[in-house]
Structure 1
Amino acid sequence: MGEQFEYSEKVMDHFRNPRNVGQIKDADGIGRVGNPVCGDLMEIQIKVENNILKDVKFKTFGCGSAIATSSMITEMAIGKTLEEALKITRGDVAAELDGLPAIKMHCSNLAADALHAAIKDYMEKKEEKAKIEAEKYDFDVIVVGGGPGGLTTGILCAYRGLKTAVFEASSWGGILSWMCPTKMIENFPGLSERITCKELVDTWVSEAEKLKVELKKERVNEITKDIKVITESGEYRSKIIVLATGSSPSIAGVKGEETYSEKDRGVYYYVANPEKFAGKRVLIVGGGNSAVDAALSITDTADLITIAHRHNELCAAGHKIERLKASDKIKILYDTELVEITGAEKVEKAIMRDLKEDETIQQVVDSVILAVGMTPNTGIFKNIGIEMDEKGYIKTDKTQKTNIDGIYAVGDIASDLALVVVAVAHGAVVAHNAYIELRKPYWR
């Protein structure tokens, strides 16, 4: 070394065979320190991935001790988290080298200072980049749709510390509010038969407000591939968009349906108010949970209820079918298809087809409820190339991400299960993965 000091074998080894010499292309952080008294100058460059030092390199001009300590601290730092690396002291460096002459201890101090300066540089750049990035966006996450999936996604994203907005054109809670507000929640462990749909929605809205979710009563007219939402009042940019537009009752496509579904003329798709059917003869078309729920909800008000189902058995939950069959007000026509709805100003008759006997059935009715399923609301984003399956549901991966970067989908538009508990689970999955994507925590 040309110096009259006793050095350990480790110091000599790192001086003669220095590790990690050079520079890192596009280094994430650079730290430079110097000692004007002895002329030592150190530069340390770092590469960071997920809060871990993946690479550390140095360039040092100075004495042998300065070179040895620079070499040693790169070996000590690689693989450590930033927090762990910041705890490395001059004493740690000297100890790893089996000691340094007292007069040379400043060299180990320089090495630690250079590493800490590189980490500080990285953090300042990261903070500045995040600040610039944040100014480009109105929100971290925009959720389009305020139904079960949309509201709970908003709540859980906000819980994760993500700036979140939920846009809803109509009623918070979606179909829970406008289709069945007084119905008791079911198929939701812990809540089943304990709370109404409206009460659950009110709870979600209150929780969202407490977590500072921006609840915007605005209709979204367009969604763009560059993660922008266009409403009646303006444009909003976010880093992630979550599609949660839900579903609507399916159109049956029978003759007379369009005519009598307008202006309260007798054709409906669900029962929001059972009193509307008081004293009436009602035909319900369908055999699933929606049809059975509709029938059960009006047994106390309607005069006579007929269910017409195309198949030879109902496909609703077993306990509901038992209640249905126990009612003397309800008649079930299996293997029967609705062909036409007729009448004058209002519905007067339903024409059906017995599929088994191939015979026509005519029945006098006052109202027809078409409970033939739900159709996902995907109209506003069909033009951006989102992949859907043959039934019209959006295709997603296990994180609920669509084929377009930055766009996720939850709830009824991404699953034919049509259960509140599924929509809520989707929201939890999206919030978790949005947090990882945007915040890049060290543990991932």
Structure 2
Amino acid sequence: MEEQFEYSEKVMDHFRNPRNVGQIKDADGTGRVGNPVCGDLMEIQIKVENNILKDVKFKTFGCGSAIATSSMITEMAIGKTLEEALKITRGEVAAELGGLPLIKMHCSNLAADALHAAIKDYMSKKEEKAKLEAEKYDFDVIVVGGGPGGLTTGILCAYRGLKTAIFEASSWGGILSWLCPDKMIENFPGLCEKSTCSDLVNSWMNEAKKLKVEMKKERVNEITPDRKVIAESGEYRGKILVLATGSSPATGGIKGEEKFSKDEKGVYYYVRNPQNFQGKRVVIVGGGNSAADAALSLADTADLITIACRSDELKVAPNKIERLKAIDKVKVLYNTEVVEISGTDKVEKVIMKDLKEDELIQQVVDSVVLAVGLIPNTEIFKKLGLEMDDRGYLKTDKTQKTNIDGIYAVGDIASDLALVVVAVANGATVAHNAYVELRKPYWK
């Protein structure tokens, strides 16, 4: 080192034992600077993970001061955020070394300038990459399914400024529209007994349109792991894909069920229009809220309603039990299983088994409503490689994310607690996390 200058011990140490010398394979950013007066040349490379400088290396051609400042700044920068590293000044580099002769201060200038140049190079590349990546996608978020969970997800994503599309093959509102459009909302805090299911769906639809969510009424035929949706009108890609395909009524596996389940022959899986049961004798198979809802909806139209319940009690909200008891035409047969549905062209009778007495009972009926639960609509996802439990529900973490990166699931396909309020909460969770993942807000 030049003998005419006095250097601190720290400068001498970094000159004789420079830290972090070399190059970084596949560096995220490179900064090169030089001083034409003294001929010093300096190159700094950086590796970035989650906005943190994980590695910094340098190559310097020049005097001992240039080597010492380069070595020093790498130690100062490693572990800092990019924003913190950009604030490292030339004076701070010199101060960390115990000072530099005034004539050598340009060396500290080079070190800080090279680091800042490397960070700016990284940011420029990241911005360009993001721009190119964005051109590959049609939407920030694509939601497959327009039920409570899907509509909520779409609305809240659009509210956060994310370009969003929702695909729905059948009825907007899902189960609320095709199963119980006229039912009063009972288990949604703030809306109980204030609006019908169709009122709620219409409110969601209006909000989605105001926020410019693209509402696509078409079937999705295939989904790929890279978040491509192949629909009837073409192929679409989303940065994030949300699955919200809901559930369908489960079948009962009863002898004769399939024969009479089509063409209005007497077997139904839900009560869409109570007027179709005017004056009829109806057996409802099930022991939960769905069975109770079906019975209550038929109270003004059917002549006789029999609920066949396999257990010794109905697993129903207490207020519904009281309402059922107040209807004379409703009869509940406990510990009873429907084993056969028969008739010529239409349903004419059912054979039931008393599970306690082990006896068969015949009853003349006009219609059978099977309210034996819901099954998740996840068949389309089996080729996708999504993890499911043994009942067909998609496995998700606390953010509703599946095992495939960028794919989330909400509502009845991700929870056996088939409640509107649960699907809505799932949608809010996904919208929040989609925004965080795509926009990287300052507070995360």
Give 1:295's aligned residue: 295
Report the identity percentage: 83
Give, in angstroms, the shift of residue 409 of structure 1: 2.6
For 1:299, the aligned partner's letter is A
Question: How does the TM-score come out when normalised to structure 2?
Answer: 0.90
| Larger CA deviation: 258-267 vs 284-293 | 258-267
Is the contact between residue 166 and residue 214 of structure 1 (CA under 8 Å) also seen in structure 2?
Answer: yes
Q: Report Cα offsets for 1:311-353 as digits up to 9, x if no partner.
A: 2111122222222223223111112222333445544433322
Give, in angstroms, the shift of residue 122 of structure 1: 0.3
Aligned residues: 444
Give 1:37's aligned residue: 37
Give 1:423's aligned residue: 423
For 1:314, the aligned partner's letter is L
Q: Report Cα offsets for 1:173-218 as digits up to 9, x if no partner.
A: 1101111122233333444434332232233333434444322111
Give 1:228's aligned residue: 228
**Match runs of 1:17-416 below 5 Å:** 17-159=17-159, 161-343=161-343, 345-416=345-416
For 2:363, the aligned partner's letter is Q
Cα–Cα, structure 1 residues 337 and 17, in superposed 2: closer, same or farther, change >3 Å? same
Give, in angstroms, the shift of residue 406 of structure 1: 4.1
Is the contact between residue 174 and residue 246 of structure 1 (CA under 8 Å) also seen in structure 2?
Answer: yes
Q: Report Cα offsets for 1:70-89 as digits up to 9, x if no partner.
A: 22222222222111222222
Instruction: Quote the Cα distance in structure 1 between the aligned partners of 2:62 and 2:190.
Output: 69
Give, in angstroms, the shift of residue 434 of structure 1: 4.4
Cα–Cα, structure 1 residues 3 and 207, in superposed 2: closer, same or farther, change >3 Å? farther
Is the contact between residue 265 and residue 345 of structure 1 (CA under 8 Å) also seen in structure 2?
Answer: yes
Is the contact between residue 45 and residue 56 of structure 1 (CA under 8 Å) also seen in structure 2?
Answer: yes
Q: Report Cα offsets for 1:106-138 as digits up to 9, x if no partner.
A: 222222211111111101111121222223332
Gaps of 5+ in 2: none
Instruction: Quote the Cα distance in structure 1 between the aligned partners of 2:310 and 2:110.
Output: 83
Cα–Cα, structure 1 residues 93 and 212, in superposed 2: closer, same or farther, change >3 Å? farther
Give, in angstroms, the shift of residue 168 of structure 1: 0.7
Q: Secondary structure of the equivalent of 1:69? A: helix
For 1:136, the aligned partner's letter is K
Instruction: Quote the Cα distance in structure 1 between the aligned partners of 2:10 and 2:195.
Output: 71
Cα–Cα, structure 1 residues 55 and 320, in superposed 2: closer, same or farther, change >3 Å? same
Give, in angstroms, the shift of residue 169 of structure 1: 0.4
Give, in angstroms, the shift of residue 226 of structure 1: 4.0
Q: Report Cα offsets for 1:348-383 as digits up to 9, x if no partner.
A: 433322222233323333332211111211222223
Cα–Cα, structure 1 residues 204 and 313, in superposed 2: closer, same or farther, change >3 Å? same
Q: Report Cα offsets for 1:245-275 as digits up to 9, x if no partner.
A: 1111112232443343323333222223333
Q: Secondary structure of the equivalent of 1:68? A: helix
Q: Report Cα offsets for 1:286-313 as digits up to 9, x if no partner.
A: 1101000111223233333221112211
Give, in angstroms, the shift of residue 47 of structure 1: 0.8
Cα–Cα, structure 1 residues 275 and 216, in superposed 2: closer, same or farther, change >3 Å? same
Question: How does the TM-score come out when normalised to structure 1?
Answer: 0.90
Instruction: Quote the Cα distance in structure 2 between the aligned partners of 1:204 and 1:93.
Output: 58
| Larger CA deviation: 38-47 vs 433-442 | 433-442
Give, in angstroms, the shift of residue 435 of structure 1: 4.9
For 2:329, the aligned partner's letter is K
Q: Secondary structure of the equivalent of 1:307? A: strand
Instruction: Quote the Cα distance in structure 2 between the aligned partners of 1:52 and 1:159.
Output: 30
For 1:179, the aligned partner's letter is L
Is the contact between residue 50 and residue 440 of structure 1 (CA under 8 Å) also seen in structure 2?
Answer: no
Q: Secondary structure of the equivalent of 1:341? A: strand
Gaps of 5+ in 1: none
Instruction: Quote the Cα distance in structure 1 between the aligned partners of 2:93 and 2:77.
Output: 10
Instruction: Quote the Cα distance in structure 2 between the aligned partners of 1:380 and 1:253.
Output: 22
Instruction: Quote the Cα distance in structure 1 between the aligned partners of 2:58 and 2:211.
Output: 46
Instruction: Quote the Cα distance in structure 2 between the aligned partners of 1:14 and 1:443.
Output: 38
Q: Secondary structure of the equivalent of 2:195? A: coil
For 2:32, the aligned partner's letter is R
CA RMSD of aligned residues (A): 2.6
Q: Secondary structure of the equivalent of 2:94? A: helix
Q: Secondary structure of the equivalent of 1:230? A: strand
Give 2:15's aligned residue: 15
Q: Report Cα offsets for 1:26-81 as digits up to 9, x if no partner.
A: 11000111111121111111111111111112112222332222222222222221
For 1:36, the aligned partner's letter is P
Instruction: Quote the Cα distance in structure 1 between the aligned partners of 2:292 and 2:104.
Output: 86
| Larger CA deviation: 405-414 vs 71-80 | 405-414
Instruction: Quote the Cα distance in structure 1 between the aligned partners of 2:154 and 2:254.
Output: 39
Cα–Cα, structure 1 residues 432 and 256, in superposed 2: closer, same or farther, change >3 Å? same
Cα–Cα, structure 1 residues 62 and 209, in superposed 2: closer, same or farther, change >3 Å? farther
Instruction: Quote the Cα distance in structure 2 between the aligned partners of 1:206 and 1:29.
Output: 47
